[in-house]
Amino acid sequence: MPQIRCALIGYGAWGQHHARAIASIEGASLTAIAARSPESVAKARADHAEAHIYADYREMLAEEELNLCDVVLPSDLHFPVARDVLESGRHLLLEKPMALTLDHCAQLIQLAKARSRILAIGHELRLSSLWGKVKELIDSGAIGEPLYALIELWRRPYRQGSGGWRYDINRVGNWILEEPIHFFDLARWYFSSAGEPISVYATANSKQPDHPELHDNFSAILKFPRGRYAVISQTLAAWEHHQTAKITGATGALWASWSGAMDRTFEPTFSLKFQRADQVEEISIAKPSGEVYELVDQIAAVVRAVRDGTPVPCTGRDGWWSTAMCLKAADSLATGQPVPFEEP
């Protein structure tokens, strides 16, 4: 099997998991890592002797023979670095959020198309044995036409991130683009039979007097055609990491839940219940569910896409939509009104 030569740009908290995931995939090699500070460069070198380590990603793009670049940087750097990767002729896996503006998302889609390069976005929950089973059951008609979803997260506060980027509104964009973006993506995925979302109406508040723009509590109603809707809700003012998705359809209902000490745990607990005709049954989930597991499957799928031309789990268009749902929700917070969507 030909090896897909992969490079990683960004060796922070999540980038280190990407590196481990790439290194574990058959048919892929972790050829190079671009970090930044001397500390991150030294850590990447100590952890991955198999890879060439750079302190400047542009030098890496110029020097290395690469098929796929994986970008795991603070969100304000996604657009400029993703553009450089695509312009260098490499396929791209880009972490969420795809970019901080819809114009930048559209530019990346255009660039990937013009260069015939793969553009995949990091919504790894689509690869989950749990959240993916929910999708499979909905698509098989197990609950009839889906009518309502509540996707909810209860978790501890966000980490600062390198240089505090996650608490700087100019660098993070907003906090809806951090975690709720995954739930908007799941809702659109689960309701795909209804068509694209129509509008979003959001409310939020902050417990931080110095940072009212960084919302600890956030909820939104996402409307779909034919009266279908999803509620997305998150609090960061709690502890651990507990996520649920409750979905009702015309003939049945699903209740999925996932819990861990933190999002990146290797020891989660999770369950899926399915109700039809007054019977409730537990659906067994064979494989562990959790973002550290899904990350490996996500990168493996993108590696296959590069090698065999198979579809990626989450496209640039999907990334445009997940970013749009978050940015329009932020507009709704600002205006106090529901905000409609315009198709890309």
Ligand X SMILES: NC(=O)c1ccc[n+]([C@@H]2O[C@H](COP(=O)([O-])OP(=O)(O)OC[C@H]3O[C@@H](n4cnc5c(N)ncnc54)[C@H](OP(=O)(O)O)[C@@H]3O)[C@@H](O)[C@H]2O)c1
Residue (21 or 147) nearer to ligand X, CB: 21
Q: How far apart are CA 280 and CA 285, in angstroms?
A: 16
Contacts of residue 120, Cβ cutoff 8 Å, sequence gap at least 6:
91, 92, 93, 94, 301, 302, 305, 312, 313, 314, 315, 316
* Shortest distance in whole angstroms from residue 199 CB to ligand X: 25
Nearer to ligand X by Cβ, of 73 and 222: the residue is: 73
CB 238 within 8 A of CB 154: yes
Number of other residues whose CB lies within 10 A of the CB of residue 206: 17
**What is the distance between the terminal CA atoms of the chain, rounded to a whole angstrom?**
37
Taking CB positions, which residue lies at the least distance from ligand X? 12
Nearer to ligand X, 79 or 190 (CB): 79
Q: Residue 101 CB, nearest distance to ligand X (Å)?
A: 15
Nearer to ligand X, 70 or 216 (CB): 70
Q: How far apart are CA 195 and CA 220, in angstroms?
A: 19
How many other C-beta atoms lie within 10 A of the C-beta of residue 45? Answer: 15
Neighbour count for residue 151 (Cβ, 10 Å): 27
Q: Which residues bind ligand X (CB under 6 A)?
A: 9-15, 34-37, 40, 57, 72-75, 77, 95-96, 122, 124, 161-163, 165, 178, 291
Check if the beta carbon of residue 117 is closer than 8 Å to that of residue 97: no
Minimum CB distance to ligand X smaller for 228 or for 318: 318
Question: Least CB distance from residue 285 to ligand X, whole Å?
Answer: 19
For residue 85, the minimal CB distance to ligand X (Å) is 12
Beta strand segments in 141-197, E: 146-155
Q: Closest Cα to residue 94, out of 67, 113, 119, 60?
A: 119
CB of residue 56 to ligand X, shortest distance in Å: 7
Q: Which is nearer to ligand X, 93 or 142 (CB)?
A: 93
Shortest gap between Cβ of 322 and ligand X (angstroms)? 11
State the nearest-atom distance from the C-beta of 33 to ligand X, in Å.
Answer: 9
Q: What is the DSSP string of 12-25?
A: SHHHHHHHHHHHHS
Q: 177 CB contacts (<8 Å, ≥6 apart)? A: 75, 96, 97, 100, 323, 326, 327
Residue among 94 and 112 whose Cβ is closer to ligand X: 94
